[in-house]
Amino acid sequence: MLLFILKRLLWAIPVLWLVATITFIVMHIVPGGPFDAEKQLPPEIRANIEEKYHLDRPFHTQYLLYMESLIRGDLGPSYKYLGRSVNDILADTFPVSIQLGVIAFILSLILGMGTGLLSAVSKGRGDWIDKTSMLMAIGGVSIPHFVLAALLILILSQTFHIFPPALWEGWEYTILPAVSLAAAPAAYMARVMHSSLINVLNEDYIRTCYAKGLPLRTILFKHALKNAAVPLVSFSGPLFAGLITGSFIIEYIFSIPGMGKYFVTAVINRDYPLIMGVTLLYGLLIVLANLAVDLLYFFIDPRIRKR
Amino acid sequence: MIKRHFVLLLLLLPLIWLSSCDLQGNHINDLQTFRMAVSSEPPTLDWNLATDSISIRIIENLMEGLTQFDQDLNPVPAVAKGWKVSEDGKTYIFPLHNSISWSDGKRVTAHDFEYSWKRLLNPATAAEYAYFLYDIENAYEYNSGQIKDPSLIGIKAIDDTTFEVRLRKPVVYFPSITTFTATFPLRRDIVEKYGDHWTDPANIVTNGPFLLKEWRHEYSLTLTANKDYYGGRPKLDAIRFYVIGESTTALTLYETGGLDMVSLPPLAIPHYKKHSEYSHHPFLRGYYYGFNVEKPPFNDKRVRQSFSMAIDRTAFPEILKGGELPATSWIPQGMMGYNPSIGLSFDPAGARALLREAGYPDGSGFPEVTAVFSTNPENLLIAQNLQAQWKKNLGIEVKLDNQEWKVFLKTLQTNTPPIFRLGWGADYPDPDNFMNLFTSTSGNNRTHWKNREYDRLVEAAAMEQDLEKRKRLYDQAQKILTEENVPIMPLFTNAQNLLVKPYVKGFRPNAMDITYLKDVWIER
Amino acid sequence: MKLSVLIGVFVILLACIVALFAPWIAPYTYDQQDMSVILQPPDKDHLLGTDSLGRDLLSRMIYGTRVSLSIGLFTSLVAMAIGTVYGGVAGYKGGWADHLMMRLVDVLFAIPDLLLIILITVVIGREFWGIFLALSLVSWVSVARLVRGEVLRLKEMPYIEAARGIGAGSWRILLRHLLPGLRGLLIVTFTFRIPAAILSESTLSFVGLGLAPPFSSWGVLANDGWTAMRFFPHLMVFPGIAIFVIVLACNLVGDGLRDLWEPKSPV
């Protein structure tokens, strides 16, 4: 087991190297550079800036220089935010995104699995529960989250003054953005849970349980749920990585100082080091989350263990 | 059983951890705190390096330079007591107040200006706005690396209170340039001691009405009153700038009492037009479409004139709702030299006649052209409206291409499209800042248009001391630009649409969109 | 056949007809501007109101059906197809092949979508095909992970082992035995990818990478409308309803199909 984890962690190195290399190449191919601006720079000043950031060097030299500083753990200076290093920026904003992301993740797990479970069990009996939860799920996923956020703000803060409409000053400020973030994944989880639970309930071992006269609750929680959750597990790994690295739109609407915005703004600004920084961090989290997912498979479904 | 509790614990752990986290910002409910929104994080507060309106807006409340502009946008003395110009118009002497101090108690001297200006020009600083000082002797040569010795530049602190500037040619608007943040004084000791981090709240040293107290990146900046400010302590205790990208979010915050002033998003304007808190102000920002005069069919000036005449510019304020001012001339309202009678006005028949003359009767045989612009809601609406107007009035179907911002800039540089959208906001309130744009040497002239007469007129105007004569020179130049040659067609100038709470007193917006807050107070 | 499935099929067919015959159905064209009726709420001339340029919202939505429906359906189909094959093979082969394939997925997952999309649209152009290709290429990765996880679980099932035991070939097992087990998950994922694709197309327009104006799509309309929600709610509400209805229809059909294949009642 320990060996497995160690091996996977070692694998993170080539994965991240590949991510870094491809991103580095793509970002330099994409037209437009960090210092193209509406007010065009005189060539002399442009040359000064490019020299300062080594942008005048040949491509492979830039790549080697970047990789060298990356190995030292230095993600370089931001081109857009002068005087701030990418390390500083990530250290400032990542914790905020983690806080919001974790809350949203838990919320979507509870909502998604709960609704899925409820609707699957009530299928065939209380049909309306099934139908309503499905409608809710469809609503959750087909309402764009910027619209959901705008609706929540309109109702809960503008009309009833229950939650603040934006900013990041205390726990009450986390509710609306977390709900907006959680809605779509929760809806998806509910649907997946619903469909996979029904599949599992049709399997022979569950039928055996019925035949043995076990109560529904025991069958569900002791036997069915674990198996039904497998597709959710592989979904929730990347979901978790995605949620804790923040969302551009939600941070934008609620003015939250997280790092999600950089996935868009760094690209728009062609802030090369910052693009690399957020990408590598996200890549690392993806690797870790997927490792966690694979470990979870071991625990949940013993049959996978004997590969 | 233990297992289930374990799962529960796993779920709860993050919550416990979260509740222990410090989400608590410091709420400020002080009576004399002014809260407003800025649309993005200021990229830097280093005033030699700041180029964007947000950084500048904050720096203007922290710092003062040689001059500043008054409500009518004329330069008036600030740290300088005034200025003297030599006979030939090439040497400016700025005598300084001797009682103005930095926030750490040291006096502001001419040496601080000399250091700042030389740092601005130093190639190693790589400052984008170094070219503002290119009219100074040897400034260009030093910045471009042709000479290495900064003492050859025409910038000199003669003593602590006398600052001398020698120019290459007379520049009548030079005191306007010194209102610009990039030219504000700097403390060598501070910059050298803290390096890139000298603008951190703990390190920064300033001389203006407010002090930088706290900077939470991507979230807020807090400024507090400078009790030692030479103009008297400002009435506000603090200013808080929140970084709020989405304008509807800012509006909601304003309405729920979280902000004291807000700039209205376009679609909200009709709703507030009658509101007592609403106000509307001109803004020195011109919006135009340029032509690539080297590529057919726009190498024929009749085609360019025709395209400009086919546009009914009164449609723009109706579409954008922000009280935009339709414009056929280039110098914006509120600036010296503004003359709305110049330019080609809406004349569909005349436009069609010109098009026929150029060989495209009713648009037949006109090659396929694409208008290129960068994406934002305003540009999208205007481009689609122009497309419809050209189709209706000229019978020409112009294709549209909205590009992502940096891609658009690259396109402009490498392969200038036949028609493209750009704008220009004033850096300093002098018409030269607008007119210089389309001279043949300007790096920002993307039209490839070169006109000796225009260049001569603009250069002469920059040296002309007599206001009336200067205005006439600009009139002539504007006629060439917008009537005869038409490398660009101005469309309108933007406007500011603000909501300000009734308890905010003394707030006077200006057309530079810079919010000076030193005279503002709150009265509940 | 259940009523709900019929309704779903009917809605989808209707949307297809609307898309195909847009020029005949729409009361105006998608780009016809009328300065006298800017931002009108719904009335009898403009059943769903007008936008900032005085264009008829209903007509823009009818034309937008073409783009949104094809982007939504086709990009989802392509993403599902690539993702299922890739994930299926990885999960079924297992071992080193699985490991390598999944690490590659990790790599693709981490590279910023936006960069790839900018690159693709710069190369191919921002016509329909550029957007279509860009969105398809960035969205199959998550499907691959999902399918691989599910295949890992399924292939240890007794019936698969039995099939293997009696000497069935890999492809036969994949197609005849694994694929049916994946149906539920695939249907749900497919129906959820549709709105995701419709909406990512609108996010693209948000950063200036969407469809060239004045063409319209539901995503673009919803995106244009949401900031005006308080002042001109019709701009947001109607495109929102359109997206909701089409997703609902896809879900109804999906559920119906699943029930058709797995008619057993669980409890």
CA-to-CA separations, C169 to A180, A307, B25, C101, C161, in angstroms, rounded? 47, 19, 63, 22, 12
Give me the domain span that covers residue C233: 3-18+56-264
Indicate if the pLDDT at residue B17 is higher than 70: no
Cα–Cα dist B124/B286, whole Å: 33
Residue B271: inside a domain, yes or no? no
Nearest-by-Cβ selection for C231 from B268, B385, B405: B268
For B5-14, what is the mean pLDDT?
52
Residue B344, SS3 per DSSP: coil
Q: Is 50 exceeded by the pLDDT of residue A288?
A: yes
For each of the domains in chain A, give its residue range(s) and CATH number, in order of start. Answer: 1-85+93-307 (1.10.3720.10)
Full DSSP string of C214-233: T---HHHHHHHHHTTTTT-T
Note whether B225 and B341 are same-domain residues: no
**pLDDT for the residue A303:** 60
Mutate to test the interface with B, among A45, A53, A259, A268 (most CBs of B within 10 A): A45
Chains with 3+ CB–CB pairs under 8 A to C are A, B
Residue B275 domain-assigned (yes or no): no
CB of B33 within 8 Å of a chain C CB? The answer is no
B touches which chains (3+ CB pairs under 8 A)? A, C
**Angle at CA of residue B497, ends B496 and B498, nearest 5°:** 115
The per-residue pLDDT of chain A, averaged, comes to 85
CATH code of residue C137: 1.10.3720.10
User: Which tokens is B131 given?
Assistant: 């070219």
Same-domain check for residues B481 and B333: yes
* pLDDT per position as a tens digit, A114-169: 888 888 877 666 567 777 877 777 777 777 777 888 889 988 988 888 899 989 98
**Within 10 Å of residue A266's Cβ, how many Cβ atoms?**
29
Q: How many residues does chain C have?
A: 267
Nearest by CB to residue C227, choosing from B248, B383, B408, is B248
**Best interface-test mutation with A: which of C188, C220, C238, C264 has the largest number of A CBs within 10 A?**
C188
pLDDT tens digits along A46-55: 888 888 888 8
> Does residue C67 lie within any of the structural domains?
yes
Could you report the per-residue pLDDT of C124-171, keeping only the tens digit for each?
A: 776 778 888 888 888 898 889 888 888 887 887 777 778 877 877 777
Q: Which domain, by its residues, includes B362?
A: 282-496
- C38 occurs within a structural domain: no
Q: What is the pLDDT of residue C35?
A: 86
Helix-then-strand count for chain C, H and E: 12, 0
Together in a domain, B175 and B100: yes
Q: CA of C252, closest CA in chain B: separation in Å?
A: 34
Closest CA to B114 of B46, B160, B181, B169: B160
Positive/negative CA dihedral, B459, B460, B463, B464? negative
Q: Using a CB–CB cutoff of 8 Å, tell me whether B249 touches chain C.
A: no
pLDDT at B72: 83
Q: How far is CA B282 from CA B197, B286, B335, C218, in A?
A: 37, 11, 11, 36
Residue C72 domain-assigned (yes or no):
yes
At residue B21, the pLDDT reads 43
B297, B408, C119, C206, C225 from B401: Cα distances, Å: 18, 10, 16, 14, 21
Most confident of B76-90, B403-417, C238-252: B76-90
Model confidence pLDDT, tens digit, residues A4-46: 889 888 988 999 999 999 999 988 988 888 887 766 677 777 8
Q: Residue A109 is which amino acid? A: L
The CA distance from A259 to A90, in Å, is 7
Q: How many CB pairs under 8 A join B and C?
A: 68
Query: Which CATH number fits the domain that encloses residue B252?
Result: 3.40.190.10
When scoring C98, C101, C115, C140 by the number of chain A Cβ atoms within 10 A, the one with the most, hence best to mutate, is C115
For chains A and B, CB pairs below 8 A equal 159
Same domain, B174 and B71: yes
Give me the residue from A31, A44, A92 closest to B217, CB to CB. A92
Where residue B20 falls among pLDDT bands split at 50, 70, 90?
very low
pLDDT of residue B325 exceeding 80, the answer is yes
Tell me, rounded to whole angstroms, the distance of Cα B350 from its chain centroid.
36
Statement to judge: residues B403 and B325 lie in one domain: yes
The pLDDT assigned to B30 comes to 62
Edge-to-edge strands, sheet with B84-85: B84-85, B91-95, B162-166, B155-159
Q: Which residue in the block uniquely carries the two structure tokens 């986390």?
A: A174
Q: Give the mean model confidence (pLDDT) for residues B260-284.
A: 90
Q: How far apart are CA C214 and CA A146, in angstroms?
A: 23
Q: Across the strands, what pairs with A85?
A: A77
Beta bridge partners, B278, equal B499
Q: Does B93 reside within a domain? A: yes
Q: B147 and B90 share a domain? A: yes
Instruction: Compare CB distances from C209 to B246, B384, B404 and report the shortest one's residue.
Output: B404
**What percentage of chain B reaches a pLDDT higher than 90?**
70
| Residue whose C-alpha is closest to residue A266's, from A109, A121, A84 | A84
Q: What is the pLDDT of residue A184?
A: 87
Indicate which CATH number applies to the domain containing B175: 3.90.76.10
Per-residue pLDDT tens for B276-305? 999 998 889 999 999 999 988 999 999 999
Contacts of B271 in chain C (CB under 8 A): 230-231
* Inter-helix orientation angle A272-300/A230-244, to 10°: 150
| Nearest-angstrom CA–CA distance, C216 and C67 | 8
Say yes or no: B310 and B455 in one domain.
yes
> Which residues from chain C sit within 8 angstroms of residue B374, using beta carbons?
208
Minimal Cα–Cα distance from C46 to chain B, Å? 18
The one-letter amino acid code at B67 reads T
Report CB contact under 8 Å: A255, B130.
no
Structural element, H or E, at residue B494: strand B488-500
Q: Which residue has the tokens 């503004």?
A: B338
Task: Please indicate whether, in this complex, the C-beta atoms of C109 and A238 are within 8 angstroms of each other.
Answer: yes
Look at residue C265 in the predicted model and tell me its pLDDT.
42
In whole angstroms, give the CA distance from residue A175 to residue A171: 7
Give pLDDT, residue C187: 83
Q: Test A255 with B242 for CB contact under 8 angstroms.
A: yes
**Domain co-membership, B169 together with B114:** yes
Structural domains in chain B (count): 3
Please give the angle made by the CA atoms of C136, C139 and C141, to the nearest 5 degrees. Answer: 125
pLDDT value at position C250? 81
- Cα separation of B120 and B115, whole Å? 9
Q: How far is CA C179 from each of CA A165, A232, C84, C88, rounded to the nearest angstrom?
A: 47, 18, 9, 9
Q: What is the pLDDT of residue A305?
A: 53
For residues B414 and B521, state if they share a domain: no
Q: Do B406 and A33 touch (CB under 8 A)?
A: yes
Among chain B residues, the shortest Cα distance to A250 is held by B246
Lowest mean pLDDT among A213-227, A283-297, C101-115: A213-227
Q: Mutation test of the interface with chain C: which of A142, A158, A288, choosing the one with the most C Cβ atoms within 10 A?
A: A142
Q: Three-state secondary structure along A244-290?
A: HCCCHHHHHHHCCCCCCCHHHHHHHHCCHHHHHHHHHHHHHHHHHHH
What does chain B come to in residues?
524
Q: Cβ separation of A268 and B19 shorter than 8 Å?
A: no
Q: Do A170 and B422 touch (CB under 8 A)?
A: no
Q: Is residue C40 part of a domain?
A: no
| Contact at CB, A166 and B249, closer than 8 angstroms | yes
Question: How much is the pLDDT for A31?
Answer: 84
* A232 torsion bin: left (phi>0), alpha (psi -120 to 50), beta (else): alpha
Q: Is the pLDDT of residue B127 over 60?
A: yes
Q: What pLDDT is stored for residue B420 in this prediction? A: 96
Residues C146/A235, Cβ–Cβ less than 8 Å: yes
Report yes or no on B197 lying in a domain. no
Structure tokens at B469: 């004569």
Q: Chain B neighbours among A 6-35 (CB < 8 Å)? A: 30-33
Whether residues A147 and C103 touch (CB distance < 8 A) is answered with no
Asked if C107's CB is within 8 angstroms of A18's CB, the reply is yes
Inter-chain CB proximity B318 and C231 less than 8 Å: no
Q: Is residue B519 situated within a structural domain?
A: yes
CB C169 within 8 A of CB C63: no
Q: How far is B310 from chain C (nearest CA, A)?
A: 16
Q: Supply the DSSP symbol for B80.
A: B
Place A301 in a pLDDT band, splitting at 50, 70 and 90: low
Residues B291 and B382 in one domain: yes
**Residue B224 forms beta bridges with which residues?**
B211, B238
Q: Is B245 contained in some domain?
A: yes
Q: To 10 degrees, what angle do helices A262-269 and A272-300 make?
A: 150
Count of the separate structural domains present in chain C:
1
Of A233-247, B18-32, B299-313, highest mean pLDDT: B299-313
Any domain includes C73: yes
CATH of the domain at B419: 3.10.105.10
Interface contact C7, partner A, CB < 8 A:
no
Q: Give SS3 for B240.
A: strand
Q: Is residue B166 part of a domain?
A: yes
Query: Residue B25 — pLDDT band, cuts 50, 70, 90?
Result: very low
How near does any CA of chain A get to the CA of B199, in Å? 8
Helix axes C179-206 and C76-93, enclosed angle (nearest 10): 130
Q: Are residues B50 and B77 in the same domain?
A: no
Q: Which helix (H) or strand (E) covers residue A183, if one does?
A: helix A175-201
Decide which of A5 and B499 is more confident: B499
For position C134, what pLDDT does the model report?
Answer: 83
Which stretch of DSSP H or E encloses residue B210?
A: strand B210-216
Q: Enumerate residues 273 to 302 of chain A having a beta carbon within 8 A of any beta carbon in chain B.
A: none
Is pLDDT at B432 greater than 80 in this prediction?
yes
CB A84 within 8 A of CB A78: yes
Residues of chain C whose pLDDT is less than 70? 1, 126, 205-208, 261-267
**Which is higher by pLDDT, B259 or B442?**
B259
Residues B319 and B429 in one domain: yes
Give a three-class secondary structure readout of A103-136: HHHHHHHHHHHHHHHHHHHHCCCCHHHHHHHHHH
Cβ–Cβ gap B405/C122 under 8 Å:
no
Please give, rounded to a whole number of angstroms, the shortest distance from the CA of A6 to a CA of chain B: 23
Give the Cβ contact number of residue B23 at 10 Å.
Answer: 17
Where residue B467 falls among pLDDT bands split at 50, 70, 90?
A: very high
A126-131 contacts, C-beta under 8 A, 24 or more apart: A130/A194
- Whether the Cβ atoms of residue B428 and residue B181 lie closer than 8 Å to each other: no
Put simply, the answer to whether B403 touches C231 (Cβ < 8 Å) is no
Report the percentage of chain A scoring pLDDT > 70. Answer: 95
pLDDT of amino acid A123:
66
Q: Is residue B406 included in any domain, yes or no?
A: yes
Other C-beta atoms lying within 10 Å of the C-beta of residue A54: 12
**CA B232 to mean position of chain CA atoms:** 28
Is C33 close to B388, i.e. CB distance below 8 A?
A: yes
